[in-house]
Structures are given as structure tokens and as C-alpha cells.
Structure 1
Amino acid sequence: MVKVDVEYCPKCNFEWQCKMLQNFLHQQQPDAEVVCSKGRQGSFEVKIDDTLVHSKLQSFAFPDHDSVLENVRRADKGQPVEKVKEQPIDNCALM
């Protein structure tokens, strides 16, 4: 069984982001264990089987859910996991 640990910032209200990722992974990979844990300020850190694959503290972005799923499937096959892609950041400009 693949274990996904997500550390999220409760002060930043990132719990809902963790729950969205958790629900997505459970729908696509029901046998994966996904744990959401309160953590450091500004954090949204994703580990797959104890390997850090995403850090919002470093990237300032949330992980792409499909990329996380791809890594969960890799880990399930015994393959090494890789850094996940980031969600695109919307840049808004006022004219």
C-alpha cells in the first residue's frame, strides 16, 4: 500500500486543499493511504512513502493532482517517485 502524507498549514486554511487531494486520490487509487496533518505555517508538503515530492514552502505553489497520482501509481509498481508538477499560478493584472 502506498502512503501519502500531506502536511498543511491550518492558519492558511489549506485543509480544504488537502481534502480535495485526498478525495481525488481515493477516487483514482482507492488502496492508497492519504493522511492530512496540520503542520508549519505556509506549508503544503507532500510525501509519498516518506519521499518528499512537493513543497509549497519551496515552490510557493500547490501540487498538480494528476502528477501526484502518477507518482502514487509509480510507487505502487515499486518504481522511484519524482518531484511532482505544480498547479499553474493564475496571474491577475488590473488594467
Structure 2
Amino acid sequence: MSVEVDVEFCGTCGYFKQFEELSKHIKPKHPEITLNGHEGRRASFEVKVNGTLVHSKLSTLAYPDYDDLSQIITEVSEGKEPRSCKQQPITSCSVV
């Protein structure tokens, strides 16, 4: 089954670098996928797999876990429905 991954990222926030990092992690493991990235809403880093939102930085304030996203891509290529992606730990936040 073909898999399309679409990433909306905030260009103003510099999230293109994060998209490049995701691409470097995902594409070697899944060279057959279609991976699209485009600038979108402020502070966004939203990931859809075959049209289903699997991760939203706007909701979680974190980036997706790339290994879990890779597993989701494998599952979808095997015919399963996309599921929510785990998130990377938030490490740049401080509480005063």
C-alpha cells in the first residue's frame, strides 16, 4: 500500500530544519513513501499519514517521535489505519 506523509511546519519559527531532520530519519527507512513538507500556520509541526493527523505540535507542544512515526508508516504500508504518534520529550521548557 502506498503511504503519503504530509508535514505542515512553521517557516517563521525555523521548523524547516526539524522537517529536514524528520526527512533524514524517515526516508532511508521508507524510500518508497511520498514525503511532502510545506509552510503553514505559526508554531505548527503537524504530521499526517495518508490524510490522517497522527501528530500535532499545536496540541502537544512537542515534535513527533521519529522511531514511532517510522513504525506507523510500516503499519500503514501493511494495510493498518494510522494511529497517533508518540512525542519527543520536551526538554527546552523551564518552570520558574
What's the counterpart of residue 36 of structure 1? 37
After superposition, the Cα gap between the structure-2 partners of 1:49 and 1:91, relative to the gap in structure 1 and judged at 3 Å, is same
Q: Point out where structure 2 has 5 or more consecutive residues left out of the alignment.
A: none
Q: Which residue of 2 aligns with 1:51?
A: 52
- Given that residues 18 and 36 in structure 1 are in contact (C-alpha distance below 8 angstroms), is that contact kept between their aligned partners in structure 2? yes
Q: State how far apart, in whole Å, the 2-side matches of 1:61 and 1:52 are.
A: 15
Indicate the SS of the match to 1:12: coil
> Residue 60 of structure 1 aligns with which residue?
61
Instruction: Please list every run of at least 4 consecutive aligned residues from structure 1 whose deviation after the TM superposition is greater than 3 angstroms.
Output: none
Aligned length: 93
Aligned residues with identical type, % of pairs: 37
Tell me which residue corresponds to 2:74: 73
Provide the residue aligned with 1:10 in structure 2: 11
> TM-score, normalised on structure 2?
0.92
- Structure 1, unmatched stretches of 5+, are none
Instruction: Give the Cα separation in 2 of the matches to 1:91 and 1:13.
Output: 15
Query: Which region of structure 1 is more displaced relative to structure 2, 83-92 or 30-39?
Result: 83-92
Q: Is the 8 A contact 1:46 1:53 kept in 2?
A: yes
1:19-30 equivalent positions in 2, closer than 5 A:
19-30=20-31
Q: CA RMSD in A?
A: 1.2
SS at match of 2:76: helix
